[in-house]
Amino acid sequence: MVCFFQAASKFNTRYATLGFQHDANLDDGNMWPTAFAVIDLTPADEERIAALVRKAVS
């Protein structure tokens, strides 16, 4: 597993979270994002998520 989703309603938070485990291939220098807040999903957001997942498993 390289990514996970935490629903806002389940965790009583303001936004959902899309996160990546340490095995994800997202390394970029000394610092890179490993989690993203998700409030709403647009087609552009869906494509960005798909690109991140493709990179994470590459």
Can you give the pLDDT of all 58 residues of the chain as single tens digits? 899 999 999 999 999 999 999 999 999 899 999 999 999 999 999 999 999 999 999 9
pLDDT recorded at residue 50 = 97
Global pTM?
0.83
- 17-41: b (≥16 Cβ within 10 Å) or e: ebebeeebebeeeeeeeeeeebeee
Residue 52's domain comprises 3-57
**Number of domains forming the structure of the chain:** 1
Helix (H) or strand (E) holding 37: strand 35-38
